[in-house]
Amino acid sequence: MSYGVLSSKSGHLMVETTGGAGGSGTDTALDRFQASFGAAWVPGRLTLTGLHVNYVASRTGQGLAMVDLNLRDVTGVELSGGRGVSKTIGLRTARHVVHFRCFGAPAVAQQMAGALDRLRKKQRSG
């Protein structure tokens, strides 16, 4: 399995807390992101690898350069409806939903779901 870059896309990210139980490193990173940016759509670049989803905000002057989500902590990938060609991808963790809005979201969501499936299959077999 290659852990190189599978996809890289500019867009906007927003973190929503769902309140479930969980204390993974991903949820801690999302709490920090939400404390810095609140419930606003934050412009930046999302990069998907075989193991992680990274998001680098364009507004890094606030001391937060990157959010790193471990794919092992992602419980589901959702694609929500949207107007026109810009749709929203939802990455669900134990305590958060990470919303990423971009052009070409269906293809990116499919890549994310595929990476998540491959990682789960590797964990079961290894």
pLDDT of res. 3: 66
Residue 102, phi then psi, degrees to nearest 5 = -160, 170
2 pLDDT higher than 90: no
Question: Does pLDDT of 55 surpass 90?
Answer: yes
Q: What is the pLDDT of residue 1?
A: 45
Contacts of 98 (CB under 8 A, 6+ apart): 13, 14, 15, 16, 30, 53, 69, 90, 91, 92
pTM: 0.87
CA distance 34 to 39: 7
Band (37; pLDDT cuts 50, 70, 90):
confident
Token representation of residue 1: 């399995």
Q: Does residue 71 contact residue 115 with C-beta atoms inside 8 Å?
A: yes
Would you give the DSSP letter of residue 95?
S
Confidence band, pLDDT 50/70/90 cuts, at residue 63: low
- Report whether pLDDT(64) > 70: no
- 72-78 mean pLDDT: 94
Domains of the chain: 5-125 (2.30.29.30)
